Chain A
Amino acid sequence: MSDQHHHHNHPCCGISTNPEDYFLTRRQFLSRVGMGLGALSLASVIDPLSAFASPDSAPATGGGLLLPHAPHFPAKAKAVIHIFAQGAPSHVDTWDPKPTLTALNNKSLPGGGIAMGSPFAFKKYGRAGIEISDVFAKTAEHADDLAVIRSMWTDIPAHDVATVFMNTGSLRISKPSLGSWIIYGLGTENQNLPGFISLRKGGLPIGGAANYQAAFLPGVFQGSAINTQATTVDQMIQNIRNSYLPQSEQRRQLDFVNQLNTLHSHNVQREAALETRLQSYETAFRMQTEATDAFDIRKEKETTRAAYGDTDTGRQLLIARRLVERGVRVVQVWHDGWDHHQDLETKLSAKAAEIDQPLAALLGDLKQRGLLDSTLVIWGGEFGRKPTKDRNGYDNPGRDHNAKAFSTVMAGGGIKGGVVHGATDELGAAAITDKVHVHDLHATILNRLGFDHTKLTYRFNGRDFRLTDNFGQVVQPILA
């Protein structure tokens, strides 16, 4: 009667979309009795289908699910660093110059409101002469590696909704995050570290854990949130170290546990989950050292640390590079505080200064290490701002929310450098040319990772879900 069990294998990448494969019971080891996880792992690396294709061999476990899978087509990017400029950065003061707006400064606009020209100067950078604001002067030195999308738009200009939307493609209903979809599709390169890490300073981001959640995907695809303000690795990663036993004693304890587990396995049904759990202890044992090492930026050269800067953001981006270098698939970096309703000139320049040097350092560092080609770096917020002065800040003007226009910058990982894509109207009020919606950005990111966004699906409650819902078009012109 086993034929009654339907296995919905993904047609392209061998990922099981059958929730059955994520449950333990009735899962057996059968034909692989006596073969360790190592054998399984190898098989699935060589042929991703083999790990899931046969009901006899499905290792319904986190270990197996996170092994590297081949995507739909050869990927340009292997890893993603997504720097979330939360709070909705003003595009007309950073990446989208508007001379007409400057010319109309302080004049009433026909559409209402008083024009606010950018207080910042723009200069041309790189071979393509991309105009970039002085507040990003250091990042601008990498203009030939940057694709600046000036025609982004989204649905709702409210921070929490739009932030979660940028990370999950869903306005209210709980859906898996971009990072979760990516590691569901690709697995991760280093089994001793989480595949998807969210770096934050202090408390939760706006929108909560929804920004890195697995939702209806198995919990193994959830992002691991790490507080980079913690001063020690022990505070950053739960249970990463044993405060009781030296490592040699812990090793001896683990060997003893393994002996008992072997005896136990002789008394019960052959079951892959038993073997997998045993392996997960070995992984955890190694992770203690590896994770501690990955987050310890004191191991970097002084010059490297100085290049990123000894600041919260500098340390975050340096950690991000160390993680990607070690095979972490997705790193989400939170850089919030871009909600400038008032006093924009002072506040935005200060906020940009926090990220400009570290971002420039990251791009240079990745390039120098030969990692930029395979690492997709994304900088952007959840929406943009209006070209007019915010009513609330007449003395110290700022800008109000605007869902119709914002800029997102991408680099590396199969992205064409020195490119400006799309345009807003002459005041920067709305994207008008080659508009790029959030779903389109998601489709593009998945494309660089080797996925057709319409085919990376997961069956839940009888429906195939995907990150881009029923939408999304790849932004072809920025692809290298």
Chain B
Amino acid sequence: MRLSTLLAFPAFLLSVIPGLAADVAPPPSISPEDLQFFETKIRPVLSDQCYRCHSEQAEKLKADLRLDTRAGVLAGGESGTAIVPGDPEKSLLIEAIRYGNPDLRMPPKGGKLSDDIIADFAEWIRRGAPDPRTTAVVAAAPDARGTATPVHIYTPSKDHWSFKPVVQPAVPATRHPDWCRTPVDNFILADLEAADMQPSAATDRRTLLRRVTYDLTGLPPTEAEIQAFLSDTAPDAYAKVVDRLLASPHYGEHSARAWLDVARFADTKGQVKRRGDPRSAGAWTYRDYVIDAFNTDKPYTTFITEQLAADQLVLQSLHRKTLPDEKSPGDRRILAAMGFLTLGNQFDGNPNDIINDRIDVTSKAFLGLTVSCARCHDHKFDPIPTKDYYSLYGIFASCTQPQRSADLPTLLPVADTPDYRDYVAKSDELAAKEATLREDFQAARRANEIDAEKRKELIRRQVTLQAQIGDLEANHVGAPPRAEVLIDSRSPRNFPVLIRGEAQNKGEIVPRRFLEILSPDPANRPLYAQGSGRLELARDIASPTNPLTPRVLVNRVWQQHFGEGFVPTPDDLGNQSAPPSHPALIDYLAARFVQDGWSIKKLHRLIVLSATYQQANTDNPAYAAKDPYNRLNWRYNLRRLDLEEMHDSILAIAGRLDPAVGGKSVRLSSEGFATRRALYTFIDRRNPPELFTQFDFPSPDVPSGRRYETTVPQQALFFMNNPLIIETARKLTQRPEFVKLTHTEDRVISLYYAVLQRPPTLHEIALATSYVKATPTTTDTPLRIDNTPSPNNRRGQFNPFKRFADNGPVGGARNEGPLDAWARLAHALFQTNEAVFYD
């Protein structure tokens, strides 16, 4: 029976004749259980054990049997039908893998498959061989090698709301137009009225100021700001506050931190190639760029384009080709924007993983799409074929990244100062050492006798040298700020699909071009022709007709103000995401955003000036039962401060916060952490500070548009025991204006204003007074706790990250002695729920 030709037409021929292939019935819809079963039990085995001989990728197709398509499986091969759906016992495939027939044993090499796998295949066939693979070969378009090129058909829905063009909906009428302050309110109120509900009352002004100040700057309002607002009776008092906050440089810092989460930002490179220094010399310049972009309200389209292709923009402006209105042609400062692409993990220098990371961050950040899912197979849920992934892959594979810090462009023309000259001298010295070392390595390689000691010594030298270079770039006062750029390689080209994502498994070559689902005319997508195509990609993403770009941004900004976006998954607006809570409103805001010149500040105004935003956080059991998640926005949500807001608030309250904007990162254990805003903290990708992790700081290896909000005892321990908190509380009671207060009641009021931005109630004054009065008068002897970093004995084993295991006391804070009753009260207020929530 072996190799007997039972079929007159080989399956291969069948599959390349369009009319016949179309006769294969379309795949019936497949249940999630069956899909899961196929994907976990069947597909991996087919792909590992069978495709080498029975698929499109086979060097020589064996027995005319293809197992890489549903059609192929059903058509069978030379030996006949491979499977009889529903009847494993009659299926040749089962006979073959059971090894019962000595003439038909599959796979032929490597031995019989495990009993579990065989049982899985029998189960699969018994279930009717459900197979989601719809990549039937429907057209024979022979490529250069004369083999047929499959044309893929995708089932994931293209009809999803977010893929459709944004059309600005009419502002709906409501029964209470007087309540509406911006068009946002008409949409919200119309939905509430339809549900027979009413919005909550407006919140009090003090609460509103605390809310909007946190939302826009990440900081609490000062007492002076509160008093100014409370006493301003002008109708536009609140609008003036909003303008003041949007003009504050702290606005840019606060917005930047959210974007840095999305951009999976860190100060180090993760897994570094060949003993390189793990620090990214220009990481901080990217952070400063982002802060500045928000503060100057850079149009979002420019923000996108610069992060993806600032190098191209600088080149173009130097050549005076475009951007006729720009003030300083060839301004290189925007190059810092490219840290967006380059500041990911370096994955030991593995190019495929690095490119995957760049595709991932680009598609999630701007498009709310998980394109990286299509690296190994067509996206299971969104209409993103693998070919689209490799179109983007070709773009990023046609780029290079300077490996040495000294090769990174400086942001500004460098002034010839003594510091700079000293830096250059030291840099040249190290470069010379590098060259010598390279020669020594080569000499060692040439020598036949391999000397282990010699090699060890070379490696030691290399490690030391790389660290010295890293230190020089990071610490020398004359080191110029640099941009972590990506540049086009000299010969950009198209790349093949890597089948199943495997580097050695090349498929057809795909052109560099935009995603099919987001192209106005998918069949005639323009091919990217300018260098790598990054600039063209940026322009396609930033196009006003791109349906996703404005919706994704609007959703992120809404989330910033309400705690949750219209779509709860900000990095995924695809088929898998929940439907938007307000489909018309998100589109209205998206359309307005584009009309308003992609101004994020205008978008903030539209939202925070609304009556919706100004509602109180009220408890309404009837409404809560009806709409437990407040999807209809019938009140404002209680919000918890995130790590940075919490840290910055405590410092700001004690008057310790350094208002300086921008600059190099500071270490957690340095004084800098106790004065600078938390977003300036040095983040080692391989070891983020434990304090940060405990407070839900996201993994810097994945784009993260939304943080988890967990509550763990380690967070409480920080508030209860850490000297940074306690010493900051003490400083609050050492302020001259506090010290001069003599009445207990006045002191309580002062601390309440400082920590909670409100006066205490009479009941609270009484509680605080009795707490203070009951404090033992005897001076407690503080425990002697040794907070010095513990020794690091890793003799003889190199660990480039050891230096970044920051074990020192947080903010360098140490116990400064016994606490009096007032410091204890201030410390207690920092620990309250109210101090870390706002409403």
A→B interface (CB under 8 Å): 1-2, 4-6, 19-20, 22-26, 28, 30, 55-56, 60-63, 65-66, 160-161, 172-174, 191-192, 194, 201-204, 206-210, 213-216, 218-220, 222, 224-225, 227, 229-232, 234-235, 238-246, 249-250, 252-254, 256-257, 259-261, 263-265, 268-271, 273-274, 276-278, 280-281, 283-285, 287-288, 336-337, 339, 341-342, 391-393, 454, 461-464, 470-471, 473
Q: Are B370 and A461 in contact (CB under 8 A)?
A: yes
Q: Are A269 and B618 in contact (CB under 8 A)?
A: yes
Chain B residues 695-754 with CB under 8 Å of chain A are 695-697, 699, 701-702, 706, 708-723, 726
Q: Are A245 and B690 in contact (CB under 8 A)?
A: no
Q: Are A201 and B832 in contact (CB under 8 A)?
A: no
Minimum Cβ distance to chain A for residue B780 (Å): 6
Q: Are A225 and B690 in contact (CB under 8 A)?
A: yes
Give the contact stretch, choosing among B92-100, B164-172, B783-791.
B783-791
Q: Are A2 and B794 in contact (CB under 8 A)?
A: no
Q: Per-residue CB proximity of B772-806 to A under 8 Å, as 1/0?
A: 00111000101111110011111001010110010
**B687: nearest chain-A partner, CB-CB:** A209
The listed residue (A4, A204, A207, A277) touching B581 by CB distance below 8 A is: A4
Given contacts A254-B831, A462-B576, 9 further A-B contacts (CB under 8 A): A26-B629, A174-B699, A192-B713, A202-B794, A209-B688, A239-B714, A243-B784, A260-B834, A284-B713
Q: Are A238 and B717 in contact (CB under 8 A)?
A: yes
Give bound CA distance, A35 to B639, whole Å: 21
The listed residue (B455, B711, B794, B799) touching A277 by CB distance below 8 A is: B711
Q: With an 8 A cutoff between CB atoms, is B555 at the interface?
A: no
Give bound CA distance, A229 to B572, whole Å: 44
Give bound CA distance, A277 to B782, whole Å: 27
Q: Are B712 and A220 in contact (CB under 8 A)?
A: yes
Supposing A204-B805, A263-B764 touch, asked if A239 and B710 sit within 8 A by C-beta, the answer is no
The listed residue (A216, A238, A268) touching B837 by CB distance below 8 A is: A268
Q: Are A462 and B350 in contact (CB under 8 A)?
A: no
Give bound CA distance, A245 to B626, whole Å: 47
**B831: nearest chain-A partner, CB-CB:** A257
Residues from chain B with a CB closer than 8 A to the CB of A28 are 624, 628
The listed residue (B581, B619, B790, B824) touching A268 by CB distance below 8 A is: B619
The listed residue (B629, B637, B775, B836) touching A2 by CB distance below 8 A is: B629
Minimum Cβ distance to chain B for residue A378 (Å): 22
A-B Cβ contacts below 8 A, count: 320
Q: Are B709 and A5 in contact (CB under 8 A)?
A: no
Q: With an 8 A cutoff between CB atoms, is B635 at the interface?
A: yes
Give bound CA distance, A341 to B453, whole Å: 12
Q: Are A273 and B699 in contact (CB under 8 A)?
A: no
Minimum Cβ distance to chain A for residue B621 (Å): 8
Q: Nearest 7 pairs between A and B by C-beta?
A: A208-B686, A25-B563, A174-B701, A462-B576, A284-B716, A24-B709, A62-B712
Residues from chain A with a CB closer than 8 A to the CB of B637 are 25-26, 269
Residues from chain A with a CB closer than 8 A to the CB of B577 are 462
Q: Are B39 and A341 in contact (CB under 8 A)?
A: no
Give bound CA distance, A471 to B370, whole Å: 23
Give bound CA distance, A61 to B832, whole Å: 17
In the complex, which of the residues B579, B625, B790 has the most CB atoms of chain A within 10 Å of its own CB atom?
B790
Q: With an 8 A cutoff between CB atoms, is B509 at the interface?
A: no
Q: Are A238 and B714 in contact (CB under 8 A)?
A: yes
Minimum Cβ distance to chain A for residue B363 (Å): 11
Q: Are A257 and B828 in contact (CB under 8 A)?
A: yes
Residues from chain B with a CB closer than 8 A to the CB of A192 are 713
Residues from chain A with a CB closer than 8 A to the CB of B635 are 269
Q: With an 8 A cutoff between CB atoms, is B487 at the interface?
A: no
Residues from chain B with a CB closer than 8 A to the CB of A55 are 628-629
Minimum Cβ distance to chain B for residue A233 (Å): 10
Q: Are A277 and B833 in contact (CB under 8 A)?
A: yes
Supposing A256-B828, A269-B619 touch, asked if A280 and B631 sit within 8 A by C-beta, the answer is no
Supposing A204-B686, A269-B638, A462-B381 touch, asked if A216 and B711 sit within 8 A by C-beta, the answer is no
Residues from chain A with a CB closer than 8 A to the CB of B709 are 22-25, 60, 273
**B774: nearest chain-A partner, CB-CB:** A252
Q: Per-residue CB proximity of B138-178 to A under 8 Å, as 1/0?
A: 00000000000000000000000000000000000000000
Residues from chain A with a CB closer than 8 A to the CB of B718 are 238-239
Residues from chain A with a CB closer than 8 A to the CB of B455 are 392
Q: Are A283 and B720 in contact (CB under 8 A)?
A: no
Chain B residues 809-839 with CB under 8 Å of chain A are 815, 818-819, 824, 827-829, 831-834, 836-837, 839
Give bound CA distance, A224 to B690, whole Å: 8
**A286: nearest chain-B partner, CB-CB:** B713
Give bound CA distance, A243 to B690, whole Å: 20
Residues from chain A with a CB closer than 8 A to the CB of B382 are 462
Q: Are A216 and B579 in contact (CB under 8 A)?
A: no
Q: Are A203 and B833 in contact (CB under 8 A)?
A: no
Give bound CA distance, A160 to B783, whole Å: 40
The listed residue (A208, A256, A264, A283) touching B771 by CB distance below 8 A is: A256
Give bound CA distance, A243 to B725, whole Å: 12
Q: Are A253 and B827 in contact (CB under 8 A)?
A: yes
Q: Are A215 and B793 in contact (CB under 8 A)?
A: no
Give bound CA distance, A261 to B829, whole Å: 10
Q: Are B787 and A239 in contact (CB under 8 A)?
A: no
In the complex, which of the residues B114, B452, B706, B774 has the most CB atoms of chain A within 10 Å of its own CB atom?
B452
Give bound CA distance, A257 to B176, whole Å: 43
Minimum Cβ distance to chain A for residue B38 (Å): 11
Minimum Cβ distance to chain B for residue A402 (Å): 18
In the complex, which of the residues A203, A234, A277, A285 has the most CB atoms of chain B within 10 Å of its own CB atom?
A203
Residues from chain B with a CB closer than 8 A to the CB of A264 are 832-834
Supposing A22-B710, A204-B805, A209-B686 touch, asked if A259 and B722 sit within 8 A by C-beta, the answer is no
Q: With an 8 A cutoff between CB atoms, is B423 at the interface?
A: no
The listed residue (A56, A161, A242, A471) touching B721 by CB distance below 8 A is: A242
Give bound CA distance, A132 to B271, whole Å: 37
Q: Are A1 and B574 in contact (CB under 8 A)?
A: no
Give bound CA distance, A55 to B569, whole Å: 17
**A474: nearest chain-B partner, CB-CB:** B116
Q: Are A342 and B452 in contact (CB under 8 A)?
A: yes
Q: Are A280 and B801 in contact (CB under 8 A)?
A: no
Residues from chain A with a CB closer than 8 A to the CB of B719 are 281
Minimum Cβ distance to chain A for residue B838 (Å): 10
Q: Are A273 and B794 in contact (CB under 8 A)?
A: no
Give bound CA distance, A65 to B691, whole Å: 20
Q: Are B832 and A213 in contact (CB under 8 A)?
A: no
Q: Are A6 and B711 in contact (CB under 8 A)?
A: no
Q: With an 8 A cutoff between CB atoms, is B627 at the interface?
A: yes
Q: With an 8 A cutoff between CB atoms, is B373 at the interface?
A: yes
**A87: nearest chain-B partner, CB-CB:** B797
In the complex, which of the residues B621, B691, B716 has the most CB atoms of chain A within 10 Å of its own CB atom?
B716
Q: Are B579 and A4 in contact (CB under 8 A)?
A: yes
Q: List 13 A-B contacts (CB under 8 A).
A: A2-B626, A6-B578, A22-B709, A174-B701, A229-B793, A238-B690, A241-B783, A243-B723, A254-B720, A256-B828, A263-B764, A288-B721, A454-B40
Give bound CA distance, A239 to B695, whole Å: 14
Q: With an 8 A cutoff between CB atoms, is B261 at the interface?
A: no
Minimum Cβ distance to chain A for residue B805 (Å): 5
The listed residue (A172, A229, A257, A261) touching B348 by CB distance below 8 A is: A172
Q: Are A218 and B764 in contact (CB under 8 A)?
A: no
Give bound CA distance, A23 to B630, whole Å: 14
Q: Are B630 and A208 in contact (CB under 8 A)?
A: no
Q: Are B702 and A239 in contact (CB under 8 A)?
A: no
Give bound CA distance, A243 to B817, whole Å: 9
Residues from chain B with a CB closer than 8 A to the CB of A249 are 775-776, 780, 824
Give bound CA distance, A55 to B624, whole Å: 12
Minimum Cβ distance to chain A for residue B86 (Å): 24
**B372: nearest chain-A partner, CB-CB:** A461
Residues from chain A with a CB closer than 8 A to the CB of B827 are 253
Residues from chain A with a CB closer than 8 A to the CB of B794 are 201-203
Give bound CA distance, A161 to B722, whole Å: 35
The listed residue (B43, B568, B726, B831) touching A281 by CB distance below 8 A is: B831
Q: With an 8 A cutoff between CB atoms, is B201 at the interface?
A: no
Minimum Cβ distance to chain B for residue A385 (Å): 16
